[in-house]
Structure 1
Amino acid sequence: MTDRRSFLKRTGLLALSIPLLKNELFAAPFARKLPAKGIQLYMVKEDMEKDPAGTLKQLGKMGYTQIESYDGNKGVFWGMGNKTFSKLTNDNGLTLISTHYAGNSGGFEKLAAEAAEIGMKYLIYPWKGPQKGIDDFKRIADEFNGYGAICKKNGLRFAYHPHDYPYKPVDGQLPIDVLLAGTDKDLVDFQMDFYYTVTEGQDPEAYIRKHKPRFRLCHMRDVLKVRLPKGSEDESACDLGTGIIDYNHLLSTALDNGMEYFFVEQSRFFRETPLQSAAVNAAYLNTMKLA
């Protein structure tokens, strides 16, 4: 009797587990996550200036694993030197992937060597500003090729981060198209800021597909469902998942077309502090269901 009961118990449990196992087997190939969750430190710049160690510790606890720096008052390594800052990030479960930097060529070459020394992947040029004519953007493309060559010589990559102005027509052309065409794909990648692409009326997925795999990095923030009056370039930015951008679909497309690094970045907040928004955004990324 005992053997019979044990057999029925085992077969009953097996029968119950088959549907669950079947669901897991069929769901697994379609359930994807981002390779890592990143954040651009400019989002929490006031906290970083006051307490870099404490701020990095909080970001690590939120679940971020990658960071991108920028050239602020204390430099991209926050006044610590490249190795010391890299150790601090690593101690908090974070990897310094990239930094924004718009210095001169001499400073750029020095930074490229320091970045390569600690295993960084990218130096990113964040801002050139609107130009008078489209020929100016052609000149900038040549300049970016030069920066790309410097990075390649040092064993890392160069990228450009377009804001809103490259999506505004100049002399009948979009500067972003001129920059993509005029830069060497072996030397220059791009970091898409989804907010600017969408608010300027362009289709981010179309650009990502057409120019695969040149958009290797991104900045993520959402766009309010009801746009606010013009007041600043970021007047309608909001936390991820609270706006109009379908990030589940968008990031699935990005992953399929060569994008590797994903950074939360926001400069307008509905929370009391930027760190609270950082936590909300990190939690949202955990809920995503990428095809």
Structure 2
Amino acid sequence: MDYKRRDFLKIAGTFASGVALTGVAGQLAGCGTSSKLSGKNNTFGLQLYSLRDDLPKDPKGVLRQVASFGYKQIEGFEGSKGIYWGMSNTEFKRYMDDLGMQMVSSHCNWKQNLEKKADEAAAIGMKYLMCPYLGPQKSLDLFKKAAEDFNKAGQICKQRGIRFAYHNHDYSFKKVEGQYPQDVMMQNTDKDLVDYELDMYWIVAAGQNPNEWFQKYPRRFKLGHVKDRGGKETTTLGKGNIDYPSLLKAAQKGGMEYFIVEQEQYEGTTPLAAAKDDADYMKRLKI
């Protein structure tokens, strides 16, 4: 089954216009700017959804360009040609090796054939499979049920030597029945089975201070999506109003290990040009 991401533009339109991103950045500003980004292997990755329109046309050619930009890691998603873009998992791994890159994780349809997907991911040294989107739920009980399902998925992955994680959008940082769904999910998942990928664009867009969540749940956010916010849309890193030098310093202190660039809109540029500009920003970044 093809995996389809939600319409980000529609979601972005629902945000309150008064989100004070500079306030979030200001609360993090004391982190300083003294050292280079030092994630796993001192590197950073790209979520391939950023190139969703280009990849189907020439997967190998596009991946070669990604490698030439300086990315050493990639995070996949389950598209029309599967997680491995028409290749077997081992063929994909060999091609990644040739390019000097590693596929560390993938978003996927975790409710379908997870055992098979986890076997294939483990066989090529991937670290994570994850739920990319749950969607707003009508009650906290439904988020608790999702947490139970995440634990089951985490057990399947753990048995194969990999990890399971959940990737947030804005809805989990907006209260339902007086509580944040993100709290409910994190408090009802076993830390030995389930990790979290913090999408730093969406948490800031929801008006939350990421640093508070790093402190509240140390070492639970093992991966992060790095994308900037201009107005109510994503923009090329460094052109928006998220203070990443400070934010990523806090993320590293909180135990984040993988920093995955993602780009969703491309006003005034192209997906590949944006991926290159984002890589240039990450290479220059000092935190």
TM-score (norm 1): 0.84
How far has the Cα of 1:32 moved from its partner? 2.4
Structure 2 equivalent of residue 243 of structure 1: 240
Residues 193-222 of structure 1, C-alpha deviations (whole Å, 9 max, x = no match): 011000100111111122110000011111
Residues 80-116 of structure 1, C-alpha deviations (whole Å, 9 max, x = no match): 11000111122111100000012425x1111001000
SS of alignment partner, residue 104 of structure 2: strand
Change (3 A) 1:31 1:104: closer
Structure 2 equivalent of residue 99 of structure 1: 106
Aligned residues: 252
CA distance in 2, matches of 1:262, 1:183: 23
Structure 1 residues 9-88: aligned runs within 5 Å: 30-34=34-38, 35-88=42-95
Residue of 190, 214, 217 corresponding to 1:208: 214
SS of alignment partner, residue 46 of structure 1: coil
Structure 2 equivalent of residue 18 of structure 1: none
Q: What letter corresponds to residue 152 of structure 1 in structure 2?
A: K
Residue of 255, 258, 263 corresponding to 2:260: 263
Q: What letter corresponds to residue 272 of structure 2 in structure 1?
A: L
CA distance in 1, matches of 2:240, 2:269: 19
CA contact (8 A) 1:271 1:277 kept: no
Residue of 168, 172, 177 corresponding to 1:166: 172
CA contact (8 A) 1:219 1:262 kept: yes
Runs of 4+ in 1 over 4 A off after TM superposition: none
Structure 1 equivalent of residue 11 of structure 2: none
Residues 130-158 of structure 1, C-alpha deviations (whole Å, 9 max, x = no match): 11111000000000000010110000111
Gaps (5+ residues) in structure 1?
Answer: 1-28, 228-234
How far has the Cα of 1:168 moved from its partner? 1.6
CA distance in 2, matches of 1:239, 1:208: 24
Residues 31-86 of structure 1, C-alpha deviations (whole Å, 9 max, x = no match): 22232120000000121110111111111110000000001101101111100011
Structure 1 residues 134-153: aligned runs within 5 Å: 134-153=140-159
SS of alignment partner, residue 212 of structure 2: helix
CA contact (8 A) 1:219 1:265 kept: yes
CA contact (8 A) 1:145 1:183 kept: yes
Kindly report the root-mean-square deviation, in angstroms, between the aligned alpha carbons of the 2 structures: 1.3
TM-score (norm 2): 0.85
Rg: which structure is higher?
1
CA distance in 1, matches of 2:284, 2:263: 19
CA contact (8 A) 2:110 2:130 kept: no
CA distance in 2, matches of 1:271, 1:277: 10
CA contact (8 A) 2:69 2:276 kept: yes
Structure 2 equivalent of residue 231 of structure 1: none
SS of alignment partner, residue 71 of structure 1: coil
CA distance in 1, matches of 2:188, 2:141: 11
Q: Between Structure 1 and Structure 2, which shows a larger proportion of helix residues?
A: 1
CA distance in 1, matches of 2:106, 2:37: 24
